[in-house]
Amino acid sequence: MKFLKYYFFYGIKKLVNKTLGKYKKELVYSENNSYWEKD
Amino acid sequence: MKVIGISCFYHDSAVAYVKDGILQAAVQEERFSRIKHDPSFPFNSLGWILDENNLKLSDIDCIAFYEDPHLKLNRIKYSHVASWPNSFINYKRDLDSQNFKFNIKNFIRKKVGYKGEIEFNNHHLSHAASAFLLSPFKRSAILTIDGVGEFDTTTIGIGNNCDLEIIKKIKFPHSLGLLYSAFTYYCGFKINSGEYKLMGLAPYGTPKYTNLILENIIDIKDDGSYRLNMKYFDHLSGRSAITNSFEELMAMKRRAPESEISEFYMDVAASIQEVLERCVFKISKYVRNQTKIDKLCMAGGVALNCVANGKLLRSKIFKDIWIQPASGDAGGAVGAALLKSRQASGLKRNFGFMNPYLGPEFNDNQIENYLKQNKIPFRRSKNIYDEASDLLKEGKIIGWFQGKSEFGPRALGNRSILGNPLISTMQKDINLRVKFRESFRPFAPIILEEKAKEWFEIDVPSPYMLLVANVNESKKLNPIINDQKGFDKLKVLRSTIPGVTHVDYSARIQTVNNSSNHDMYQLLKKFDEKTNCPVLINTSFNVRGEPIVLTPEDAYQCFIRTKIHYLCIGSFIVNKSEIKDSELIKNDDWLKKFPLD
């Protein structure tokens, strides 16, 4: 049950995020001059 | 304050013991369990460290774990979300495994019986601490690069006396370590183990695919920051290192493990090595500009790429570089323990040589008892250095077992197989008849520190075998012919020490002085007196896929299974020709015990 809960919960969450582009933008190249992030 | 550092449950589990800020002992579990890269909880190592230091569990003030399982679980969830639904099957597996780590405190309390404080540290901070806090620098820039910690894959930091600060980072899934591992997998080698082979294979090829990789697979900015094109990688879902698109881009299927290595894969190895070096160079220049510090400490698996290290040193971007010899996850145990010790009671730093000989030692009585109990013919040597150097001069291969075992992936002269580098067939002989590994793999030279400059293009000590430099011009043989391709390059005699000269004239050097390793120094001195050559072939005392030997029994087993002629163990010499034929192991069935690496 725990597995199903995680699977569907995050699956749905991903769909939402995909629509909003939250994760998508992190997985492609960027025009920015740097990919460094501050700690 | 007494702190135990632990790394485990991924690969290379290890235990380190730090007392009042000083590293006392460290050992990897694989040496006891005889399972290469053993990830299991290091019960044996912990037991040895407690016994060796006369400690009870109740004496330990804190157990410091090298990473934070809570953060790591978040990363696994993130990965799952990002790669759903491809991660369907592996997510459950990863979650179960992480749940186990999640409960490591309970695990330690129940299985080990420890009731004191248990602390988690950040993975890359542990790496950074293992490098900076053991370095000879009071102030230094710190660079850690590996596959992945919790989220971070590359970090830049600053160390100042006992303080450490991470200032910049690159996060998963973008990872130089995973990029190199993906190519390791593509070339038919094992991830987290075969990266050395890829590095050793690179000089046989031509970097024809560098631009293809830079244009399609990785975007490297001028400041060295990078991002992977995830179309070609599958490490987010945990299914595989590469996708079908990767093979389509390279226009060739992945090489089957153990199959013949074609020129194509040699060229791929050369190309990814060049990409890695370019990226590390750019990062280093950025670190220098950002921190304005001219000293650098490095750790993380990528810091074991000694070819890149050597070039970085020669580039003079930094005045001085120090690399943690146990740069992989095993070193995380050391870093975690040092971090805790620093926070709790301040840290005494000696700014001197970090002793890599931190493991178990066997004295002559213990060795003699073992040999007698097992009815092994042996004799006590009046002068082991003199006799061993005579044997090496004659071209004999020696198993050398002395003093404390090394911490980290390299045999640094206490658990080593030694050979004469002046003999041209020695590399092939040791590779095929002793190590049972691929004939293309080079061997490292071990050399007297004061004579290193005469033989190699290196002007700094390299006590941990982490720097690669070329053989000096004066030692190269003329005429130099460069028109061979692939493994044909092996047929050319390139220097006066062919046993340790790679096909591009490079060598992974270890320098030794009298205080860093007295026994090896004396042996090299004697060999130099007799041959005018202060260099020996030094390779780890094991066969392919086997962890480096730890005990006299491990050493003897390795000795009778292979074509090593003599075993020099403590003050004793065992001659293979005096051992009964029935004792020797002549078939290769035992090799199956060690999985291919």
Out of A10, A29, A38, closest to residue B168 by CB: A38
Chain B residues with CB under 8 Å of A28 CB are 229-230
Interface residue of A9, A29, A39 to substitute, partner B, most B CBs within 10 Å: A39
How many Cβ atoms are within 10 Å of B343's Cβ, its own excluded? 16
Shortest distance, CA A5 to any CA of chain B (angstroms):
11
DSSP readout, B364-393? HHHHHHHHHHTT---EE-S-HHHHHHHHHH
ipTM of model: 0.87
Cβ contact B80–A33 (<8 Å) = no
Delimit the CATH 3.30.420.40 region(s) of chain B.
2-134+326-345, 176-323
Cβ contact A10–B221 (<8 Å) = no
- With both helix axes pointing from N to C terminus, report the angle between B329-345 and B123-132 in degrees, rounded to the nearest 10: 80
How many Cβ atoms are within 10 Å of B540's Cβ, its own excluded? 19
State whether residue A1 sits within 8 Å of chain B by CB: no
Alpha helices in B103-216 (DSSP H): 104-107, 123-132, 176-186, 195-201, 210-216
Chain B residues with CB under 8 Å of A12 CB are none
Q: In what order do the strands lie in the sheet with B62-65?
A: B22-28, B14-19, B2-7, B62-65, B117-120
Q: What is the pLDDT of residue B436?
A: 86
Chain A residues with CB under 8 Å of B85 CB are 11
Q: What is the pLDDT of residue B243?
A: 92
Largest CA distance in chain A: 45
How many Cβ atoms are within 10 Å of A38's Cβ, its own excluded? 7
Q: What is the pLDDT of residue A4?
A: 65
Local structure of B131: helix, strand or coil:
helix
Cβ contact B84–A37 (<8 Å) = no
Q: In what order do the strands lie in the sheet with B467-470?
A: B379-380, B572-575, B566-569, B398-401, B415-419, B535-540, B444-448, B506-512, B467-470
For domain B2-134+326-345, the CATH architecture is: 2-Layer Sandwich (3.30)
Interface residue of B78, B84, B222 to substitute, partner A, most A CBs within 10 Å: B84
Write out the two tokens for B113. Answer: 């019986």
Q: What is the pLDDT of residue B74?
A: 83
CA–CA gap between residue B594 and residue B544 (Å, rounded): 7
Out of B91, B225, B230, closest to residue A36 by CB: B225
The pair phi, psi for residue B388, each rounded to 5°, is -65, -40
Q: Between residues A25 and B433, which one has the greater pLDDT?
A: B433
State whether residue A35 sits within 8 Å of chain B by CB: yes
State whether residue A13 sits within 8 Å of chain B by CB: yes
Taking the model in full, what pTM does it have?
A: 0.92
| Cα-Cα-Cα-Cα dihedral sign, residues B550, B553, B559, B562 | negative
Report the topology of domain B364-593. Answer: DHBP synthase (3.90.870)
Q: Which of B31, B299, B50, B332 is CA-nearest to residue B177?
A: B299
Shortest distance, CA B174 to any CA of chain A (angstroms):
9
CA–CA gap between residue B264 and residue B428 (Å, rounded): 23
Interface residue of A14, A35, A37, A38 to substitute, partner B, most B CBs within 10 Å: A35
The pair phi, psi for residue A15, each rounded to 5°, is -60, -45
Q: Which region holds residue B37: left if phi is over 0, alpha if psi is between -120 and 50, else beta?
A: left
Q: Which residues contact B562 (CB under 8 A, 6 or more apart)?
A: B433, B434, B435, B436, B543
Cβ contact A39–B230 (<8 Å) = no
Chain A residues with CB under 8 Å of B230 CB are 27-28
Cα first-last separation, chain A: 36
B171-212: pLDDT as tens digits: 999 999 999 999 999 999 999 989 999 999 999 999 999 999
Q: Domain segments of chain A: what residues?
A: 1-26
Shortest distance, CA A23 to any CA of chain B (angstroms):
6
Out of B92, B95, B168, closest to residue A39 by CB: B168
CA–CA gap between residue B133 and residue B340 (Å, rounded): 12
CA–CA gap between residue B14 and residue B222 (Å, rounded): 37
Cβ contact A39–B167 (<8 Å) = yes
CA–CA gap between residue B463 and residue B378 (Å, rounded): 32
Shortest distance, CA B177 to any CA of chain A (angstroms):
16
CA–CA gap between residue B290 and residue B286 (Å, rounded): 6
* Rounded to 5°, angle at Cα A27 from A22 and A32: 90
Shortest distance, CA B192 to any CA of chain A (angstroms):
24
Cβ contact A35–B225 (<8 Å) = yes
B251-299: pLDDT as tens digits: 999 999 989 999 999 999 999 999 999 999 999 999 999 999 999 999 9
Local structure of A34: helix, strand or coil:
coil
State whether residue A25 sits within 8 Å of chain B by CB: no
Q: What is the pLDDT of residue A19?
A: 58
Q: What is the pLDDT of residue A30?
A: 75
Encode burial over B297-306: b for 16+ CB neighbours within 10 A, e otherwise.
Answer: bbbbbbbbbb
Q: Check whether A25 has a pLDDT greater than 60.
A: no
CA–CA gap between residue B573 and residue B391 (Å, rounded): 11
State whether residue A18 sits within 8 Å of chain B by CB: no
Q: What is the pLDDT of residue B482?
A: 66
Q: What is the pLDDT of residue B287?
A: 97
Q: What is the pLDDT of residue A21?
A: 57
CA–CA gap between residue B442 and residue B444 (Å, rounded): 7
CA–CA gap between residue B565 and residue B360 (Å, rounded): 25
Cβ contact A37–B170 (<8 Å) = yes
Q: Which residues contact B13 (CB under 8 A, 6 or more apart)?
A: B6, B7, B28, B29, B30, B38, B39, B40, B41, B42, B45, B329, B330
Q: Which of B288, B290, B170, B185 is CA-nearest to residue B220?
A: B170
Delimit the CATH 3.90.870.20 region(s) of chain B.
364-593
Alpha helices in B411-469 (DSSP H): 426-429, 452-455
Chain A residues with CB under 8 Å of B167 CB are 38-39
CATH superfamily of B176-323: ATPase, nucleotide binding domain (3.30.420.40)
Out of B80, B84, B170, closest to residue A36 by CB: B170
Residues in chain B with pLDDT < 50?
Answer: none
